[in-house]
Amino acid sequence: MTQPDSAEKDDFDLRNFLPFLLNQAAEESSLDFQKVYKNRYGMLRTEWRVLFHLGNYGEMTAKQIGERAKMHKTKISRAVHKLEQRRYLRRTRDENDRRMERLTLTPAGLTVYRELRDIARDYDARLAGMFTTGEAALLRMMLRRLVGMD
């Protein structure tokens, strides 16, 4: 592993490249939590995202979830189907605009959501525990800014 670019100065360092670091961190930070909803509930990432949105925000349409989660509508469509099959959510067509349907969690879905939410909360605390309170707050703030949430 010699530097091929030692002649020209290659001051670029992949290990500090933000998109790379963010991807690594995202991957790493999702892994343990993923095991829970995957092994315990047989859910995919797309599915828990939909579940979490409905649990956290309440009734939403597929469109709205797509906007908030930045997920493509086909992913959502399929996730909704799976969650419906498992009786975690119910869909009711909007009578004012019959193109869209209102999605809500069933009691069973809400139970699962609450369980996963509690685990998520602990998990988040564990991650945040790697930093001081101020640092963690700053981290969230910066990530929100990167995402355009502020």
Partner DNA sequence: GGATAATAGTTGATTTTGTAACTAACAACC
Partner DNA sequence: GGTTGTTAGTTACAAAATCAACTATTATCC
- Which chain residues interact with its own copies by CB under 8 A? 1-5, 10, 12-30, 33, 49, 52-53, 55-60, 64, 70, 104-105, 110, 114, 117, 120-121, 123-124, 127-128, 130-131, 135, 138-140, 142-149
Exposure class string for 109-140: b at 16+ Cβ within 10 A, else e: bbebbeebeeebeebeeebeeeeeeeebeeee
Quote the DSSP letter at residue 150: -
For the CA atoms of the chain, what is the radius of gyration? Answer: 20
Q: Which is nearer to DNA, 26 or 137 (CB)?
A: 26
99 near DNA, rule: CB under 7 A? yes
Contact set for DNA, span 54-93 (CB under 7 A): 61-63, 66, 72-78, 80-81, 91
Among 3, 9, 98, 150, binds DNA (CB under 7 A): 98
- Are the beta carbons of 14 and 8 closer than 8 angstroms? no
